[in-house]
Structure 1
Amino acid sequence: MSQSKARSSKTKNTPEFNAAVAQFTSVTNASQKDAIKYIQKYGKAEVAINAYYNDPDVVSSSGKGSNISGMNQKLNTLFDKYKALGDDGENISIEGTLKLCEDLAVDPEDVVLLAVAFELKAPGVGEFTREGWRDGWRSLGVDSVTGMKNSLTRLRRNLSSDFTYFKKVYLFTFEFARSEGQRSLAVETAQAFWGLLLPQAVEGGALARIEIDEDEEDENMAQGGPGWSDQHTQLWFDFLNEKGGKGVSKDTWNMFVSFARSIDPKFKTYDPEAAWPSVIDDFVEWAREHGVQDL
């Protein structure tokens, strides 16, 4: 049975199904009839909610268009409020972003804001465009500060425990953090963002070790026991600080998260013949001489 057919045949009136319908209606204000159609098609409430704003063919509810229009109006009003606090022309600038953080009761350096930046397609640190702001928050199903504040819990959970989502945010972060005109990240900048992202993924399990099977897709990889830890992150930072270098390339940034997810704690299974960036080869050799076996 195909995945779509499996989803559409999801049993009604089970506690799980009813809870998903209730969550869907509470976020979107859609009718229960429409909620049932979306949950039957997409299975999970969060997936269905996102689809509600991006897949108009599922239902032809006459109230949907006006609902989206109302959300856009509210989001545009909020955008203008935060935009007015800065002098960045058409975009929300750092002043508006700091006020948003205050309203959301979140520290400006909280890792969850990287997930927000990803969802809103932020062009750079502390900056939001109107289109990204409106479409991003609407896709998350919120159009008020209260709704935004509540959505942070869901984004933080996904970032922490869902490797697929974590990786999307992680890869986005390189371009987000990179200075205009630069091809790499300064080592200090890269460490700052690794310092936000990696502990979150370690704590929540998104970086739980997997055994790579070249014949299987990523989602079919098996858990592989103990793996990357905060101590390994510090060892990586110590290596970078000792080695120096001008910056961290996009290839190194992108490949590092796959390395961290696949390596055993003592680096015994590392394959130097694999296609890792040379800096990771150097790190493994350095780490073996600087105490990785004791972790």
Structure 2
Amino acid sequence: MGDRRMEDNIVQFCGVTGASTREARKYLEKYKRVDMAVDAFYNNPSEFAASTRHQPPAAPSTSKLTTLFNKYKDPDAEEITVDGTLKLCEDLGVNPEDVVLLAVAYELKSPRVGEWNKQGWIDGWKGLGCDSLSAMKQVLPQLRDKLANDPPYFRKVYNRTFDFARSEGQRSLAVDTAQAFWGLLLPHGLEGDALSHTKDVSEDGDVSMEDEEGWKPEYVQWWFDFLNEKGGKGVSKDTWAMFYDFVRTINSKFTNYDMEAAWPSTIDDFVDYAKARLASGA
């Protein structure tokens, strides 16, 4: 485990358990994963204790979370709305356009942009082990790192974002809205392992070495340029979902794309566009 990852995990472990940094490091070195280390701590809190027996901390408080929810809730509604969300971001020290908020929206089952209902708020923060602003601040870097480096988690947040960002009653995302959220998610996933390239595997199990390089960061703008030139009213859920698979599997020259596969026609057309752009050197 890298030093930075270990330090981040120690912060998370201590925030959940109340254990010392020294104990946290010992549990994490033995059990590797934060969730397994936390379980081990609760099952045997004195395993690495020098002399005193630690009591497991109290579970996150519903009353504390309710108080926080009411602090940000719209006085004329039953939910936290945009104004309350902006105040929450200010108190957490996070930019309202930070990609980590999409992970928070997933965890708290936010119904739409800038809105949070009480049940999702309480259940979500409890699941993250938080009932105070200080604990929430500590968990944000963990969520940001997980979103960047955990492909299954990234995909869950990515797929949830479509419904989260969609206007009520609409089946598709407006193109500019889709681009705004792709502009947050794709660069973040490409910086870590969440969108790492999945190479072709032959029938006998050999990994293709023909093109080691996958999707390039600049192709995000190519995708946007293509969508803007193409026009159209919106991005379907099918296109949104399958674009994730496309980004992970396509090689840097788009030569491994199968036009006969069940890709959305928009992605078919983009491949033609990208190949032409590569050929022209643009």
Fold in common (TM above 0.5): yes
Post-superposition CA distance 1:248-277 (Å, at most 9, x none) = 000000000100000001101111111111
Structure 1 residue 67 corresponds to structure 2 residue 74: no
Closer/same/farther in 2, CA of residues 244 and 24 from structure 1, 3 Å limit: closer
Alignment correspondent of 2:174: 186
2:119 to 128, 131, 149: 131
CA contact (8 A) 1:111 1:196 kept: yes
Quote the offset at 1:103 in angstroms.
0.6
Aligned-partner Cα distance in 2 for 1:121–1:48:
26
CA contact (8 A) 1:266 1:292 kept: no
Structure 2 unmatched ranges of 5 or more = 1-5, 46-54
2:162 to 169, 174, 186: 174
Quote the offset at 1:164 in angstroms.
1.1
Quote the offset at 1:205 in angstroms.
2.7
Alignment correspondent of 2:51: none
Structure 1 residue 248 corresponds to structure 2 residue 245: no
Quote the offset at 1:140 in angstroms.
1.1
Alignment correspondent of 1:144: 132
Closer/same/farther in 2, CA of residues 258 and 89 from structure 1, 3 Å limit: same
Letter in 2 for 1:151: V
Alignment correspondent of 1:229: 216
Q: Percent identity?
A: 52
Quote the offset at 1:20 in angstroms.
11
Aligned-partner Cα distance in 2 for 1:231–1:199:
10
Closer/same/farther in 2, CA of residues 170 and 24 from structure 1, 3 Å limit: closer
Quote the offset at 1:60 in angstroms.
11
Quote the offset at 1:48 in angstroms.
5.7
Alignment correspondent of 1:82: 72
CA contact (8 A) 1:160 1:166 kept: yes
Closer/same/farther in 2, CA of residues 47 and 164 from structure 1, 3 Å limit: farther
Letter in 1 for 2:116: F
TM-score norm. by structure 1 comes to 0.77
Quote the offset at 1:26 in angstroms.
2.2
Letter in 1 for 2:62: N
Letter in 1 for 2:237: K
**Partner SS state of residue 131, structure 2:** coil
**Partner SS state of residue 265, structure 1:** coil
Post-superposition CA distance 1:99-128 (Å, at most 9, x none) = 000011111111111011011110010111
Alignment correspondent of 1:274: 261
Post-superposition CA distance 1:144-197 (Å, at most 9, x none) = 111111111111111111111111100000000001111000011100100010
TM-score norm. by structure 2 comes to 0.80
**Partner SS state of residue 276, structure 1:** coil
**Partner SS state of residue 211, structure 1:** coil
1:114 to 99, 102, 108: 102
Structure 1 unmatched ranges of 5 or more = 1-17, 53-57
Closer/same/farther in 2, CA of residues 274 and 134 from structure 1, 3 Å limit: same
